[in-house]
Amino acid sequence: MKRILTVQDISCVGRCSLTVALPIISAAGVEAGVLPTAVLSTHTMFPKFTFCDLTDEIEGISNTFCDLDIDFDAVYTGYLGSFRQLGLVSDLIDRHNSDKCMVVIDPAMADNGKLYPAFTPEFASAMAGLCGKADLIIPNLTEACFMLGIPYNEDYDESYIRDVLKRLTSLGARSAALTGISFDPTKLGCYAYDSVSDTYFSYFNEKLPVAYHGTGDIFASSTVGAMMRGHSIESALKVAVDFTLECIKLTMADENRRTYGVNFEQALPYYINRLENYD
Ligand code: PXL
């Protein structure tokens, strides 16, 4: 059985970061170790939230993992809240990074052309430095543009996306997958590039006329779970596109929906089933 470590905050309510990563990775049949970087009442898109920073805990936890020879098949990082955290997580990645441990970074910090509250363009360039250490990075286009220091433009074509992907891997990551890409108003999916084989991959499914918070975390977590179950990056990205769509459909169908994130819980049986099919 594989074991991963996921490093991100715990937002008590709001279905994002650890409250999404932990159940999805567990459902994949993969042990999910966690390193919580902060505890928030709710994520930062709520009008009000508390924030308890756990940065001071990171080094001690990481040292203890090393002292106990605890190893991981993947380190997967999500929302990180400060420059100091980026440095500590970078050290943690250096400790575990090997042929046997895959490093996946979701630079969760922006969407729809805007940085989340509390982030700055300087933070985005520091995150770009961390992304250089990854085997796979999974940004949306907004995050990619902030990391590359280029303007965000919703009006793009395939050659622009290919160029952004090449620039992203030139930060140092082996592969990059851009989420939320659409060239056709009825289709949404992801576009990826592997710098070692110099190959592109894309996969699209239905685009629905809604946007829910937290889908980036669902996408990244389900990709990591699938890769740990032996799916290739391409196959894992397909699973993630389809699973995220399934979550959105179930949320739309829920008349008693209570607005926070998507109903990924109801789509877990779909995910578990899909993991059995290797494309
Ligand atoms: O879904 C990304 C995310 C994770 N964690 C926190 C957030 C957000 C997005 O707003 O605020 C605390």
Could you tell which of 116, 179, 212 is best to mutate to test the pocket of ligand 1, judged by most ligand atoms within 8 Å of the CB?
116
Q: Is 20 in the pocket of ligand 1 (CB under 6 A)?
A: no
Task: Convert the pLDDT of each residue in 121-132 to its tens digit.
Answer: 999 999 999 999
Q: Whose CA is nearest to atom 6 of ligand 1?
A: 43
Q: Whose CA is nearest to atom 7 of ligand 1?
A: 43
Q: Taking 90 as the threshold, does the pLDDT of residue 259 lie above it?
A: no
Task: Convert the pLDDT of each residue in 77-126 to its tens digit.
Answer: 999 989 999 999 999 999 998 889 999 999 999 999 999 988 999 999 99
The secondary structure of the chain, three-state, reads CCEEEEEEEEEEECCCCHHHHHHHHHHCCCEEEEEEEEEEEECCCCCCCCEEECHHHHHHHHHHHHHCCCCCCEEEECCCCCHHHHHHHHHHHHHHCECCEEEEECCCCEECCEECCCCCHHHHHHHHHHHCCCCEECCEHHHHHHHHCCCCCCCCCHHHHHHHHHHHHCCCCCEEEEEEEEEECCEEEEEEEECCCCEEEEEEEECCCCCCCCHHHHHHHHHHHHHHCCCCHHHHHHHHHHHHHHHHHHHHHCCCCCCCCCCHHHHHHHHHHHCCCCC
CATH number of 152's domain: 3.40.1190.20
Q: Is 11 in the pocket of ligand 1 (CB under 6 A)?
A: yes
C-alpha 105 – ligand 1 centre gap (Å):
14
pLDDT at 34: 98
What does the mean pLDDT of the chain come to?
Answer: 96
- Whether the predicted model's global pTM rises above the 0.95 cut: yes
Q: What is the residue range of 11's domain?
A: 3-275
Task: Convert the pLDDT of each residue in 180-228 to its tens digit.
Answer: 999 999 999 999 999 999 999 999 999 999 999 999 999 999 999 999 9
Q: Is 116 in the pocket of ligand 1 (CB under 6 A)?
A: yes
Q: How many domains does the chain have?
A: 1
